[in-house]
Amino acid sequence: MTSSSTIAWFKRVRQGILAVATVVATGLMLPAEIFAQGRDFSAVAIKTHQVSDTIYMLEGAGGNIGVWAGDDGVFLVDDQYAPLTEKILAAIAEISDRDIRFLINTHIHPDHVGGNENLGRRGVAIIGHENIRSRLMDGVFNNPPPPDIALPVITFEDNITFHLNGEEAHAFKVPNSHTDGDTIIHFHGSDVLHTGDVFRTTSYPVIDTRHGGTFKGTIETLDIILEVASPDTKIIPGHGFVTDEIMVQTFRDMVATIGDRIAAMVADGKSIEAVLAAKVTAEFDERWGYPDGFFFTNDQFIQIIYNELAGEN
């Protein structure tokens, strides 16, 4: 992309993103991803991006879907919202005429697991970290728990490996970052990583502290992604476009720089008001600031980091 086209792309992304937030007694606003209630999905188009010979990314509304397709069947990473399932299935049918056998969830947010029930009823085996299953069973963002058919039927503690379609995929739990169930999937033969929402090309990180997300875990996980990736690795973010390790490094360095600035002010005994007044994110806001209509602000991102670091002193 050229510079002007890149800016235009981000403006279009920002115009299309909405979110909700929950305010707790501390005044901290905890982000939730887009909920389906009251939203018109009729105009949403599912766009298919081929990433490798066997890996595709589906872009629609909500988190990016990974599709691993071959002679042994189809394996999905996340499934967006329930009202989009038929459109998603139609897009997958254009890729492969094989059955969808497995679905793995990268975390618990509704824009990534909303289609679980529909796919579960089609006989797809749902897989997720044990924290994902337990969080869903408790209900997410005060929503009632989904029916059992929407829950992972296969869970793991640390990692799990799949052998399909002539290659191997390794799914592994990472430090608590976006949530406490964050899972990354590495398709070894294709050298493709699906990062879930720990990494996104659209904004600052979204750290859901209500469901176990942490700033330090975010940095640790970004470092893990960089250790796993090579210069040739293609990276599917939770939101945004397919990219590479250079973009992850840029994202990681930006987040770490903001964290270092806040940490120095915490060490000096500065209040949250002083940190906010210092505009520690100012140079990054145009590129990485949360989009208009996203009910999670740059100041709330700063406050999450401040609260975590100040709580350790």
Per-residue pLDDT of 222-269, as tens digits, reads: 999 999 999 999 999 999 999 999 999 999 999 999 999 999 999 999
DSSP track, 9-46: HHHHHHHH---EEEE-TTSPEEEE----TT---TT---
Least Cα distance to 172 among 119, 115, 238, 106 occurs for 106
The answer to whether the CB of 85 falls within 8 A of the CB of 51 is no
Residues 6+ apart with CB under 8 A from 10: 202, 287
Distance of CA 178 to the CA centre of its chain: 7
Q: Phi-psi category of 38—alpha, beta or left, where left has phi over 0 and alpha has psi -120 to 50? A: left
Give residue 237's domain range: 3-311
pLDDT > 90 in the chain, percent: 84
Per-residue pLDDT of 22-75, as tens digits, reads: 333 233 434 344 455 568 899 999 999 999 999 999 999 999 999 999 999 999
CA distance 85 to 241: 21
Domain count, the chain: 1
Least Cα distance to 100 among 129, 130, 120 occurs for 120
Residues 6+ apart with CB under 8 A from 139: 145
Assign 11 a pLDDT band (cuts: 50, 70, 90): very low
* pTM beyond cutoff 0.85: yes
Q: Is the pLDDT of residue 14 over 70?
A: no
CA distance 198 to 216: 12
Paired tokens of 184? 């990354």
Integer distance in angstroms from the first to the last C-alpha of the chain? Answer: 44
For the domain that residue 66 is a member of, what is the CATH number? 3.60.15.10
Q: Which helix (H) or strand (E) holds 104?
A: strand 100-104
